[in-house]
């Protein structure tokens, strides 16, 4: 069981897709989690809750996420401190290269990584991406283009892809 370092802290911020828990340490964001997030770590690892007014280091992330949801931001420029194996880091770097408004598949990512890794294994790394939205795992689809697994739920995945116009809007967006 991991515990928070002395510099780890978190903030809970309301966004159009619901509250997001942002976690960071002194090196950068370490996590962004939805309520009910499949791979959400133990909250003890999040450290104390920071009030945004106290400059907990979340201001840039909050501002850039708000710009994204308003349709004004396509790329993020934030310090990230992702924790994971070398292979996980490799997959997350590939996710970060998927352009706004475009999608790929688990199979295409597996081919790009090479070395015989399966699409299912890629799915495991994608599902454990700790920085949802900013490292855009929502842009990965099943082999037939279907929406499959998303740690924040398929409805959120659909809404993010609709926001980016990677999918046609199914109903008016709430934001």
Catalytic machinery residues: 137
- In terms of phi and psi (left: phi > 0; alpha: psi -120 to 50; beta: otherwise), the region of 148 is beta
- pTM, two decimal places: 0.89
- Under 8 Å CB-to-CB from 123, ≥6 apart: which residues? 106, 148, 149
pLDDT, tens digit only, all 175 positions of the chain:
445 556 899 999 999 999 999 999 999 999 999 998 888 888 889 999 987 756 678 999 999 999 999 999 999 999 999 999 999 999 999 999 999 999 999 999 999 999 999 999 999 999 999 999 999 999 999 988 889 888 888 999 999 999 999 988 775 555 4
The 3-class SS string of 91-140 reads HHHHHHCCCCCCCEEHHHHHHHHCCCCCHHHHHHHHHCCCECCCCCHHHE
């Amino acid at each position: 069981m991991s515990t928070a370092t002395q510099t780890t802290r978190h903030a809970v911020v309301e966004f159009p897709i619901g509250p997001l828990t942002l976690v960071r340490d002194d090196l950068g964001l370490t996590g962004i989690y939805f309520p009910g997030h499949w791979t959400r770590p133990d909250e003890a690892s999040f450290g104390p809750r920071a009030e945004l007014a106290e400059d907990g280091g979340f201001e840039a992330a909050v501002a850039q996420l708000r710009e994204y949801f308003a349709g004004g931001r396509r790329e993020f420029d934030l310090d990230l401190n992702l924790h994971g194996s070398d292979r996980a880091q490799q997959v997350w770097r590939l996710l970060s290269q998927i352009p706004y408004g475009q999608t790929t598949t688990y199979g295409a990512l597996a081919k790009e990584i090479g070395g015989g890794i399966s699409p299912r294994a890629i799915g495991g790394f994608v599902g454990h991406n700790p920085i949802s939205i900013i490292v855009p795992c929502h842009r990965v689809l099943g082999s037939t283009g279907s929406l499959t697994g998303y740690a924040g739920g398929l409805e959120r995945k659909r809404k993010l892809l609709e926001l980016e116009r990677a999918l046609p809007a199914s109903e008016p967006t709430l934001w």
